[in-house]
Amino acid sequence: STATPELRAAVEETNDPLEPLNRYFFELNRFVDEIAFKPVAWWYRAALPDPVQDSVSNFLANLRNPWTAINDLAQGEFNRFFTTVVRFVVNSTLGVAGLFDPAASFGFAKHEEDAGQTFAVTLRASEGPYLVLPVFGPSNIRDTAGLIVDSLLDPVNIIARGGLRGESSIPAIRSIVSGVDSRARNLDTIDQLQKSSVDFYATIRSVYRQRRDNEISNGESGGNFPSLNVFPQ
């Protein structure tokens, strides 16, 4: 009901007209996480020493640099584009194919951009209704479209597939490893969120939106938000 100004404001703020369906997929994703992703992430963190985990994370981040650079350029962020290109060149060479991050010690800090952020910046696209995607997790109309573009046009994925129309399991393997690495790094944070939340669904919805707003504004809104997606690009 939106019979009062307060209720209308609440509806506009949540922008979640598919909430019953979203909650269904949210609980389904939690079930899959509990029986699959969380145990794998726990064993990943327990089995691999921290330096090895850091090298995996660095390698995956380096693979994202070409797509980040393209989105930097599309958004007119030329200084960030230069930073990303330098990071890719330095870490791919001195960093041994991206296993290490010497570029950060040279003052070139890591950042990431994706198609959803580019849509928000260049097209002024609003996020649209909140969505919970099966397996992939929290999203919205704009970011779901961006996720598809990310998968199709990321240069590393195109090379791995042997072209736009090619096929390969490498992009899927990359996504799975990225998901496990991200889940392992956020095990404690997400557990704490769940324990402290009266409504875990609403908490995740709020954190996701704050995180995306922070990414779109290049960190101007402040805050340090965990990754909530199983398969980050």
Which tens digits make up the pLDDT trace of 112-126?
999 999 999 999 999
Q: Residues 232, 68: contact at Cβ < 8 Å?
A: no
In order of 20, 129, 137, the CA distances from 183 in angstroms are 26, 25, 12
CA distance 180 to 44: 8
Query: To the nearest 10°, the Cα dihedral for 160, 173, 110, 164?
Result: 30
In the chain, the amino acid numbered 112 is: E
What DSSP assignment string belongs to 174-221? Answer: HHHHHHHHHHHHTHHHHHHHHHH-SSHHHHHHHHHHHHHHHHHTTTTT
* Whole-number pLDDT of residue 99: 98
Q: Give the model's confidence band at 199: pLDDT under 50 very low, under 70 low, under 90 confident, else very high.
A: very high
Residue 53's pLDDT is 97
Per-residue pLDDT at 9 exceeds 60: no
Q: What is the mean pLDDT of the chain?
A: 90
Using the predicted structure, report yes or no on whether residue 171 has a pLDDT greater than 80: yes
Q: Which residue has 């046009």 as its token pair?
A: 153
Confidence of residue 152 (pLDDT cuts 50, 70, 90): very high
Taking each continuous run of H as one helix and of E as one strand, the counts in the chain are 12, 2
pTM for the predicted model, two decimal places = 0.88
The two tokens of residue 5 are 């100004």
C-alpha span between 183 and 28 (Å, rounded): 17
Residue 3, classed as helix, strand or coil, is: coil
pLDDT at position 232 is 44
> What is the pairing mode between strands 130-133 and 137-140?
antiparallel
CB atoms within 10 A of CB 67: 23
